[in-house]
Amino acid sequence: MYADVLIQYSTKELDKTFTYKIPTNLTVFIGNKVKVQFNNKKIYGIVLNIKASTEYDEVLEILEVINPEIILNQELIELGKYLKDITLCSLMKAYQTMLPTGLKVKETSSLDKYIEFIELNKDREVIVEYIRNHKKSYKQIEILEYLLENKKINKKDTNLVYKKLLEKDLIKIVKKRIYRLESYNYNKVNYELTEEQQSVVDKVELNKKNTYLLYGVTGSGKTIVYIDLIKKVLGLNKTAIMLVPEISLTAQMVERLYKTFGSSVAILHSRLSDGEKYDEYTKIVKNEVSLVVGTRSAIFAPINNLGLIVIDEEHSSTYKQESNPRYNAIDIAKWRSEFNNCPLILGSATPSLESFARAQKKVYKLLELKSRVKNYSLPHISIIDMSKEMKKRNFIFSDELKKELEKNLKIKQQTMLLLNRRGFSTIVSCQNCGYTYKCPHCEITLTYHKSTNNLRCHYCGYTKILEKYCPNCKEDAIRSFGLGTEKIEEETKKLFPYARIIRMDRDTTTKKNSHETYIKMIEKEEVDIIIGTQMISKGLDFPKISLVGVINADESLNLPDFRSSERTFSLLSQVSGRAGRSGIESKVLIQTYNPDNEIFNLIKNNDYIGLYNNEMVIRKKLKYPPYYYILGIKVCSKNYDLASKHAIKIASYLKNNVEETTIILGPSTANMFKFNNIYRFQIIIKYKYDNLLFKSVKFIDDMYIKEKDVYLEIDNNPINI
């Protein structure tokens, strides 16, 4: 037998299969990872096909099968081709994206984890006899007696001498494979669905490949609906995948799922260690679990017999991968839902405009949860004009927010403070000469972090110690402006010295399990005030939160992106939705310098439909999604002139080689124009249906693979432009 092996070789040009002979002593399946010889080197590859004959006279043999039980199944092999087609990545890259880090094709060492146990190796009578005859060998007897009673000892847990017993063959060492993550035991909770929830569940047809949009206000019990649907699907002996947008949300979701599904749950997200990922992956491949929960890449879980996919907070930009391959998990989910003929549920209180438009056009089926559980009311939202507060020298806390916070502390309720910017202050500059600190690699203003007294680039991570004197004019006139979460934390501590405060942002949650730790603290009410970025804005369910303060709502409103209104609405509605989830009266205070902006009215009235209608008019006029699709091409080079020259060349080629309805904009400098010392020009393409465009882009892409000093980043339906 022969195998077509897709080999891993660094260049895209070699993204094809080569035929190898399967030696008689090896069992090889389609989807196996194998070791082969190529150009006198030993490299790895994936078997994509097995056949009885080959046209070649002489072919090399496959050398070895790596991790034989981990196989890309037929579905994933097909899915890889789709991923390649929609993102223009290489097929090898597509398969590597699907495999967890520890299993990427080039890794070799096995990650199986074993525990060694000591067990008895002889019948009870023999052991008892031995004990009788060796009364003086206390230590040996101690082990044997323990084993008679308990059957096994973890070899690590004992420092007893067992070597002698081993020599005499009385005991043996047994190796057992274990998984690093085990579901913990919880008391099962069973909710009675509300009428509204039940009617949503009943509307979902389990044996059809429909996409549903579950549009349900915050706190309406979307999770309960997901859980009930998963229960049904598992009852049919099928499996499910559920995606959450952020690692910060996995802990609470996993806890809820463990409560209902116990050990049938596997978890996949990037904070797991390679070993943990590998173990979870193994559970899935061996069909030992029936529900996978995780972040974006969990959509590639090799689970068989898929009966349902749920994507929670479907509006989240985190479902889009922003590096090669630039895929959106929702597209992958749609493909898998079709392949498996099973439903896909997209859930959100603030759906993306694209999704809601599809529901309006009946491409998606709309499901609605209009009220909070038990008719709990949504929080009362007030908008605070910070320009008035400024005159009272209130730059961070308005009088009202201060007052409400104090009140909330007194009645022992929790408060959440949102500022979507981490660090201490956003701009550091010299009052004398106007010098500002910029990242030498990215041309982006550096953010000051007080705890480490350094300036940091939030794009590439470049850091620099802040000196006392201006590097330009040598004056002692360096001052900082603008707000970050770190500064909010400091101010809050000053104002409320007795409050227990935590800060959750990317800087405070770098350690493994730090999210879990913080979430546990909030649940156990060891915290009064939670300060954070968008990381805390959605999905979380804490009963004690009754006040939410948004420090500077203009932060996201001022972003130069056509989605900035939609994003602001969604961020502020979501964070408001964290309050009052268990029926206590709750308040949201939104501080802004633009209180007259129409968006605040919409947020106040929880008027998603209003936002949708307003935005759709603008999107139509400006030819943005959902009326047009967008494709972005970034032309990148270390050499400014080269990047610019090629960008102009590509844009003019495209203008002559696409449909007439397609609009080519640019080239212009990209949003992050200089990133890691690479200059980036961008061409934005707005299109409706254009096969010609994709042919042309593919043509250009193939051409630039061979180019040394210029490369392209192609992003179909980018989430940021």
118 pairs with which residues across the strands? Answer: 153, 173
Q: Are 207 and 267 in contact (CB under 8 A)?
A: no
Q: Which is nearer to Zn ion, 268 or 457 (CB)?
A: 457
219 binds ligand ADP (CB under 6 A): yes
Sort 72 into a burial class: Cβ within 10 Å, 0-12 / 13-18 / 19+: buried
As given in the structure block, the two tokens for residue 598 are 């129409």
> Binder to ligand ADP among 90, 97, 183, 218 (CB under 6 A)?
218
Residue 541 binds which entry of ligand ADP, Zn ion, none, CB below 5-8 Å type-dependent: ligand ADP
> Binder to ligand ADP among 33, 93, 222, 277 (CB under 6 A)?
222
Q: Which is nearer to ligand ADP, 252 or 337 (CB)?
A: 252
Q: Tell which positions 541-580 bind ligand ADP, by CB under 6 A.
A: 541
CA distance 686 to 630: 5
β-pairing verdict for 41-51 and 33-38? antiparallel
Q: Closest approach of Cβ 707 to Zn ion, in Å?
A: 25
Beta carbons within 8 Å of 181's beta carbon, 6+ residues apart = 267, 272, 276, 279, 280
Q: Tell which positions 390-449 bind Zn ion, by CB under 5 A.
A: 439, 441-442
Beta carbons within 8 Å of 39's beta carbon, 6+ residues apart = none
407 pairs with which residues across the strands? Answer: none
DSSP output for 447-485:
EEETTTTEEE-TTT--EEEPPSS-TTT--S-EEEES--H
CA distance 141 to 147: 10
> Binder to ligand ADP among 140, 220, 398, 716 (CB under 6 A)?
220
Q: Closest approach of Cβ 224 to ligand ADP, in Å?
A: 4
| Residues 34-42: contacts with CB under 8 Å, at least 24 apart | 34/3, 34/5, 34/62, 34/63, 34/64, 34/65, 34/66, 35/62, 35/63, 35/64, 35/65, 35/66, 36/5, 36/7, 36/60, 36/62, 36/63, 37/63, 38/7, 38/9
Q: Is 553 helix (H, G, I), strand (E, B) or coil?
A: coil
Residue 221 binds which entry of ligand ADP, Zn ion, none, CB below 5-8 Å type-dependent: ligand ADP
What is the distance of C-alpha 336 from the center of its chain?
19
Residue 220 binds which entry of ligand ADP, Zn ion, none, CB below 5-8 Å type-dependent: ligand ADP
Q: Closest approach of Cβ 447 to Zn ion, in Å?
A: 11
CA distance 74 to 175: 33
493 binds Zn ion (CB under 5 A): no
Residue 222 binds which entry of ligand ADP, Zn ion, none, CB below 5-8 Å type-dependent: ligand ADP
Q: Closest approach of Cβ 542 to ligand ADP, in Å?
A: 9
191 binds ligand ADP (CB under 6 A): yes
Q: Which is nearer to ligand ADP, 127 or 201 (CB)?
A: 201
Q: Closest approach of Cβ 502 to ligand ADP, in Å?
A: 21
| Nearest partner of 130 among 139, 118, 140, judged by Cα | 140
Residue 439 binds which entry of ligand ADP, Zn ion, none, CB below 5-8 Å type-dependent: Zn ion
457 binds Zn ion (CB under 5 A): yes
462 binds Zn ion (CB under 5 A): yes
A 10 A CB-CB count for 218 gives 24
672 binds Zn ion (CB under 5 A): no
306 binds ligand ADP (CB under 6 A): no
Scanning 107-115, 220-228, 334-342, 601-609 for contacts with ligand ADP by CB under 6 A, the matching segment is: 220-228
Residue 337 binds which entry of ligand ADP, Zn ion, none, CB below 5-8 Å type-dependent: none
Q: Tell which positions 223-282 bind ligand ADP, by CB under 6 A.
A: 223-224
CA distance 559 to 561: 6
Lookup result for tokens 């212009």:
668
As given in the structure block, the two tokens for residue 137 are 């060998």
Scanning 166-174, 320-328, 348-356, 461-469 for contacts with Zn ion by CB under 5 A, the matching segment is: 461-469
Beta carbons within 8 Å of 306's beta carbon, 6+ residues apart = 238, 239, 240, 241, 336, 340, 342
Q: Tell which positions 370-429 bind ligand ADP, by CB under 6 A.
A: 373
Scanning 214-222, 273-281, 454-462, 516-524 for contacts with Zn ion by CB under 5 A, the matching segment is: 454-462
Lookup result for tokens 């978890």:
267
Lookup result for tokens 């009675």:
192
DSSP secondary-structure letter at 598?
A: H
Scanning 215-223, 455-463, 614-622, 641-649 for contacts with Zn ion by CB under 5 A, the matching segment is: 455-463
> Binder to Zn ion among 63, 460, 499, 584 (CB under 5 A)?
460
Scanning 211-219, 293-301, 525-533, 689-697 for contacts with ligand ADP by CB under 6 A, the matching segment is: 211-219
Q: Closest approach of Cβ 197 to ligand ADP, in Å?
A: 6
What mask, x for binding ligand ADP by CB under 6 A, covers residues 577 to 616? ----x-----------------------------------
For the chain, the maximum distance between any two Cα atoms, rounded to a whole number of angstroms, is 97
194 binds ligand ADP (CB under 6 A): yes
Positions in the binding site for Zn ion (CB under 5 A):
439, 441-442, 457, 459-460, 462
Positions in the binding site for ligand ADP (CB under 6 A):
191-194, 197, 216, 218-224, 373, 541, 581
